């Protein structure tokens, strides 16, 4: 395979002909034989293996050697999209450091696209200009032009920035078209299966390869994922929910209360609510329909709710859990709530919810009870925001976090009680300090349990912030990561104090620096640590 020579090692054409490498060396290298100081910036998305950060570093290192530059610092954004600055912590740190003053005069980047695939090419240019204004040059190591500020280099950079953004647009269109095709072929695209369902992996010929656990993904490109009915105990509960709603006339809130009283929990171990029951009653996947593209988040721009005409669907794609007649009956009952109400009546109900709570959101409307659901408002008025506007309410911020925080405060004692009960059942001695709420286990170590709500970044990624009670000095902090809807627990991180040096920690879906070794699906590891093991074969003199 032909190995591409870094641009620094070849002659480059200019307006006046060929200019050798040495003509540019003095602008970036040290003087009197000293080496200049440089920083490297590398970024890897999941687009091409050839753009791995290690390959970028090799080319950048060769470039630096050819310019008599010493790389004194490296900023790396691994697995990060170049569409937006948000989420690219290393690039943000680089810009901050440059504007605050640094000990290097050059930034080395593999090529223009690694700097960013911004949809607005001027945005990409703005970050380079900020570096230039701070006295730090940006050099592209694998490009066939010298970034020397000449008209030729400016034109080439502008074209390449536009091409980088266009590449992302074209890729988005192709990926979206491929996803639509797979949906219409009956294959599942992303997201958890939901209560009463499971994701099943099949090969290219349609043969079943096995069931995927939560968080697992297919590893072979030609494999596909479909939905299938889950455990019998869950499918029975789903059918009971429909029967209670349709045949017994019980509300979602009443059904949720009955399930909780019977000790039933969702597939993630959380308590049932009106909202979780409502979602089961309105989701077509329970009758085997594959529906996708209800919402879209293309090119990391604003998330939008798409009209039903834009949805992709394949009816009868999966084995159903619920009879279609029962599903349709439930749908008509839900729609009938709003059909019985005029537009004015529905808006009056919305005003009452607003007066009672001071703000509005889809979760709040669904949990209110006694009135139309958020989906009914979307169906009647086109969107929730339009419904808000019709009653003169304009949300100036996302108030969902208030509901979520309230829900987490209510859930915290329950999770603490579950953890304590499990440790006591394992033979541990457990006490809770009423002042600090720290859990003392066997008088040997102290545990702090923190519920972490999921926050969506502007780039669409999930983030959990773990705050440590360093003043109380727990030996272990159990970070309970909640799902985005705050209804269910995703997983647990058991973080020992000896390995945590900050006041807070930001966790994503996938984490570096070895933090994922502390991740567990349940509290079994905490229970294991609490067990007292008798010592055998020890003699005392």
- Per-residue pLDDT at 314: 85
Alpha helices in 283-372 (DSSP H): 324-339, 343-357, 362-368
Give 189-241 as a DSSP string.
Answer: -SS---TTEEEEEE-TTS-EEEEEPTT----STT-EEEEEE--HHHHHHHHHH
User: How far is the CA of 40 from the CAs of 60, 64, 181, 356, 422, in angstroms?
Assistant: 7, 9, 41, 55, 50
What whole-number distance in Å separates Cα of residue 345 and Cα of residue 391? 12
The more confidently predicted of residues 428 and 191 is 428
What whole-number distance in Å separates Cα of residue 62 and Cα of residue 508? 33
Q: Could you read off the pLDDT of 302-315 as tens digits, one per residue?
A: 555 666 666 778 88
Q: Is the pLDDT of residue 92 over 90?
A: no
Q: Could you read off the pLDDT of 5-37 as tens digits, one per residue?
A: 444 333 433 333 333 333 344 445 555 557 899
- Per-residue pLDDT at 122: 76
What whole-number distance in Å separates Cα of residue 13 and Cα of residue 26? 18
Q: Could you read off the pLDDT of 329-378 as tens digits, one per residue?
A: 998 888 777 667 888 888 998 999 888 888 887 777 877 766 787 778 87
What letter would DSSP give residue 270? P
Q: Tell me, rounded to whole angstroms, the distance of Cα 373 from its chain centroid.
A: 27
From the list 483, 522, 453, the residue with the least C-alpha distance to 279 is 483
- Per-residue pLDDT at 22: 37
The more confidently predicted of residues 137 and 177 is 137
* 3-state class (DSSP) for residue 248: coil
Q: Which CATH number fits domain 401-530: 2.40.50, 1.10.10, 3.30.460, 3.40.1350?
A: 3.40.1350
Q: One fold for both 7-169 and 401-530?
A: no
Secondary element (H or E) of residue 452: strand 445-452
Longest dimension (CA), the chain: 92
What whole-number distance in Å separates Cα of residue 329 and Cα of residue 278? 14
User: How far is the CA of 475 from the CAs of 211, 272, 451, in angstroms?
Assistant: 37, 33, 17
Residue 446: which residues within 8 A CB-CB, separation 6 or more?
438, 439, 440, 472, 473, 474, 475, 476
Domain ranges of the chain: 7-169, 341-396, 401-530
Tokens read off for 92: 């943000």
Q: At what angle do helices 274-282 and 324-339 cross, to 10 degrees?
A: 120
- Per-residue pLDDT at 81: 57
Q: Pairing relation of β-strands 445-452 and 476-482?
A: parallel
Q: Is the pLDDT of residue 249 over 80?
A: yes
Burial zone of 123 (CB within 10 Å; 0-12 exposed, 13-18 middle, 19+ buried): middle
User: What are 17's strand-pairing partners?
Assistant: 14
pTM: 0.47
Q: Could you read off the pLDDT of 43-70 as tens digits, one per residue?
A: 876 544 445 778 888 899 999 999 999 9
Tokens read off for 315: 């009816």
- Per-residue pLDDT at 6: 41
503 — phi, psi (to 5°)? -80, -25
CA dihedral (364, 369, 374, 380) positive or negative: negative
The three state secondary structure string of 7-31 is: HHHCCEEECCEEECCHHHHCCCCCC
Q: Which CATH number fits domain 7-169: 3.40.50.300, 3.40.50.1390, 3.30.70.580, 3.40.50.450?
A: 3.40.50.1390
Q: Could you read off the pLDDT of 484-530 as tens digits, one per residue?
A: 777 778 889 998 887 776 777 888 877 765 677 888 888 888 888 88
Contact of 117 with 168, CB cutoff 8 Å: yes
Alpha helices in 1-150 (DSSP H): 22-25, 53-66, 89-100, 112-115, 121-133
């Amino acid at each position: 395979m032909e190995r591409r020579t870094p641009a620094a090692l070849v002659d480059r054409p200019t307006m006046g002909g060929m200019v050798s490498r040495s003509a540019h060396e003095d602008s970036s290298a040290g003087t009197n034989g000293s080496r200049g100081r440089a920083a490297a910036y590398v970024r890897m998305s999941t687009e091409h293996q050839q753009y791995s950060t290690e390959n970028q570093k090799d080319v950048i290192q060769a470039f630096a050697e050819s310019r008599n530059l010493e790389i004194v610092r490296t900023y790396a954004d691994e697995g990060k999209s170049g569409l937006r600055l948000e989420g690219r912590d290393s690039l943000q740190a680089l810009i901050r450091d440059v504007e605050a003053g640094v000990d290097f005069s050059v930034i080395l980047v593999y090529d223009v696209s690694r700097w960013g695939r911004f949809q607005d090419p001027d945005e990409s240019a703005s970050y380079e200009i900020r570096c230039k204004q701070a006295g730090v040059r940006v050099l592209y190591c694998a490009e066939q032009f010298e970034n020397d500020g000449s008209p030729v280099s400016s034109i080439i950079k502008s074209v390449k920035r536009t091409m980088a953004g266009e590449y992302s647009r074209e890729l988005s269109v192709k990926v979206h078209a491929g996803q639509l095709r797979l949906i219409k072929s009956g294959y599942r695209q992303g997201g958890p299966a939901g209560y009463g369902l499971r994701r099943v992996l099949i090969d290219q010929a349609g043969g079943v390869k096995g069931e995927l656990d939560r968080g697992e993904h297919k590893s072979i490109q030609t494999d596909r994922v479909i939905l299938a009915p889950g455990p019998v105990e869950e499918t029975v509960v789903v059918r009971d929910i429909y029967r209670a709603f349709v045949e017994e006339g019980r509300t979602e809130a009443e059904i949720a209360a009955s399930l909780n009283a019977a000790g039933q929990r969702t597939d993630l171990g959380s308590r049932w609510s009106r909202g979780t029951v409502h979602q089961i009653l309105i989701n077509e996947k329970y009758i085997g329909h594959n529906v996708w593209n209800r919402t879209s988040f293309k090119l990391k721009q604003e998330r939008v709710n798409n009209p039903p005409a834009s949805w992709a669907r394949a009816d009868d794609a999966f084995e159903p859990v619920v009879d279609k007649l029962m599903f349709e009956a439930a749908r008509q009952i839900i729609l009938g709530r709003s059909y019985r109400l005029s537009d004015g009546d529905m808006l009056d109900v919305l005003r009452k919810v607003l007066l009672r709570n001071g703000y509005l959101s889809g979760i709040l409307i669904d949990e209110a009870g006694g009135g139309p659901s958020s989906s009914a408002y979307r169906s009647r008025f086109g969107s929730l925001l339009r419904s808000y506007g019709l009653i003169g309410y304009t949300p100036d911020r996302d108030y969902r976090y208030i509901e979520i925080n309230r829900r987490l405060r209510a859930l915290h004692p329950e999770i603490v009680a579950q953890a304590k009960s499990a440790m006591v059942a394992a033979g541990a001695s457990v006490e809770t300090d009423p002042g600090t709420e720290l859990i003392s286990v066997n008088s040997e170590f102290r545990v702090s349990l923190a519920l972490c709500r999921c926050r969506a970044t502007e780039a669409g990624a999930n983030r959990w912030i773990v705050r440590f009670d360093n003043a109380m000095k727990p030996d272990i902090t159990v970070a309970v990561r909640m799902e985005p809807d705050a209804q269910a627990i995703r997983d647990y991180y058991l973080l020992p104090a000896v390995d945590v040096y900050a006041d807070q920690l930001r966790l994503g879906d996938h984490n570096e620096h070895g933090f994922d070794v502390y991740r567990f699906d349940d509290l079994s590891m905490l229970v294991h640590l609490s067990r007292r093991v008798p010592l055998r074969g020890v003699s005392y003199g």
